Each structure stands twice: as C-alpha cells, then as structure tokens.
Copies of this chain bind each other. A is one copy, B any other.
Amino acid sequence: MSFGARLESRVRARRSQLVLGLDPEPARLWPESLAAAPAGGRPAERTAAAVVAHCTALVEAAAPACVAAKFQLACFERLGAPGWQALEEVVGRAREAGLLTIADGKRGDVPVTASAYAQALVGSTRGPLGDIPGLGVDAFTASPLMGADALAPLVEAARTAGAGVFVLVRTSNPGAADLQDLTVAGASGDSPAPLWELVARLVDRLGRADAGDGLADVGAVVGATGPAHLERMRELMPRAVFLLPGVGAQGGRIEDLGPAFAPGPAGGLVAASRAIADAHEQVGGDPRAAAADAARRLGEEAWERFGAGS
C-alpha cells in the first residue's frame, strides 16, 4: 500500500491530522525528563537519555490526539552518536503509540549521495559485513534545490518502502521569500511564476497514488504562515499531501488552511512543536497534562473544520 493510502487510512482511524513535532531542546526538557538522566556519564549521553525520556513522555501525552510524529533531525544530531541512538529509540516509541513517523532533515544532494540519505531514512545499507537497517520512518522531508535527478533516488527509495517524501515548496520562515518567491521565466511557454510554483509542478509530476483519486506519495512542505498561496498550491498539486509547519509558535492558524484539505481529511497535516511541548509555559501546571490538552485542542480544531464528511 502506498504512503498516500496508508496516511488516508490512518487519518480516518485516528480522526486526526495533527503531527506532533519533536524538536528537543536541552534547555527546555521537562523537569521529570532531566531527573530520568543517569547520574554519571558524558553530557551527551546524559542529555540523550533525558531527551528520550522527554520525547517518550511527550508522545504518551499527545499521541491520542495525533496521527504522526515529526522528528527534527538537527536536534538529535547535535548530541552526536548518543543523539542518533536517542532518535532511533524515540522513533520506536512513536510507532508503538500508533503514530506515523516523519524524519524532518530537509536532505538533498547529488544522486549517489541522495541514495545514501534514502538508505539512512527509509531503506537499508547493504555491505559485505551485513545489511544495516535505516531509521525506517514512514516519510521524510527533502529539498528540491538540486533538481529532479537529485530527488529521484529519494522518491524511488521511499516508494519501494511504502513511504512518502515531503518536498520543500514554500517554507514557514520569513526568508522563504528570498528565493522561493522569486519570479522565474516560465518553461515551455508558461507565463512567469514564483519559483515555488515550479517546485509545486515538480512535486505533482513526481508523485504517484494507488488510485486515480487517492493521495500521492510525494507531498509538499507548505508553511502554515503563508496561507495566501494555499489555493494556488492545491490547483498545482491536486493529489499531494501538504505538511503544514508553523502553527502556533510561528503564527500560523488552522482556520486558514482550508485549501490543503480539498482532496479529503488527509490532504493536510498540521505540524505543531512548541505549541504542544511548551504549552505548560503558557498555562502552568504539569507539562504532560498541558501538552495533552494543547494537542487535543489543536487536533479537534483541525478535525472539526476539515475532517467532516470522512
């Protein structure tokens, strides 16, 4: 079963389009997680243990309201080898909690290297000393800057694994305007359009669905902070899943995301990180309870607006 079909089925079963963002920041780990770290060892190992405890607690609290978890690879990589080990453990916890898993690393490189990233994320690495399994996530984010030949090995490997790829189409930061919004001369007689429109067309071409009206296995990262473009994006990518970061801390609002859900309740995935993990800083009390409550409210808001008819 393709990623699009798997996602549709999971969204309906869990009645949620909410993605729990896991971007663990050592200075903001929940107190109970710090207490779970071993007393001895190197800071990297102790911090990685606390990160596992924090993410596990966060997953337990928020999972009932979510359909997926998104892992910010940078936050694990900065802890070195113990961080990568922690990432593997936390991916396992999310899976056990019934969540789909999305690795957010925005990778992109020349084809031979793109293949290596695909092995790391959704495939495995063969060699004379045995096969090495990758992270085994259900989807990952990728950068289109290096062109179609650089995306191809990522898409192929994902497809083989039944996984999905979310290509950066228009990101949630203010600097997205610097390159992604530049007007480019149209190819083959098309009229001039912003760069992100060309990337959107590429995403549409690359994706495949199990059935004609199903969701495709190549989706788009579309910042929830720039909802003005959503209708046009949906026109250009009618079957793509939109991964929508930027809700909450970055200012995006669920109510503005309507066009993402035109193909159905799984057409958009609303990603929130700090709005859930740091909810207790706003409302006080136990971090677990605050996170569970924030996730429930975000998940319900999206489902009530865009889950109807499912």
Contact = CB atoms under 8 A, between A and B. Distances in A.
A79 B125 CA distance: 8
A213 interface: no
A147 B180 contact: yes
Contact of A195 (B108, B150, B174, B184): B184
Interface in A68-91: 72, 74-75, 77-85, 88
A154 to B, nearest CB: 11
Nearest to A172: B110
A26 interface: yes
How many of these chains are in the complex? 2
Contacts of A284: none
A44 interface: yes
A81 to B, nearest CB: 4
Contacts of A139: none
Contact of A78 (B120, B144, B184): B120
A23 interface: yes
Please classify how large the interface on chain A is, using the bins under 10, 10 to 19, 20 to 34, 35 or more: 35 or more
Contacts of A10: none
Interface string A112-152: 11101101100001111111101100000001111111110
A118 B26 CA distance: 15
A264 to B, nearest CB: 28
Interface of A: 23, 26-27, 29, 34, 37, 42-44, 46-47, 50, 72, 74-75, 77-85, 88, 106-114, 116-117, 119-120, 125-132, 134-135, 143-151, 168, 171-180, 182-185, 192, 195, 198-199, 202, 250
- A-B interface, 8 closest residue pairs, ranked by CB to CB distance from nearest: A147-B175, A26-B127, A43-B130, A147-B178, A149-B175, A74-B116, A78-B120, A81-B85
24 contacts: A26-B128, A26-B132, A29-B128, A34-B129, A43-B130, A43-B132, A47-B125, A50-B129, A74-B113, A77-B117, A78-B132, A78-B134, A80-B120, A81-B82, A81-B85, A144-B179, A145-B180, A146-B171, A146-B173, A149-B174, A179-B198, A182-B198, A184-B195, A185-B192
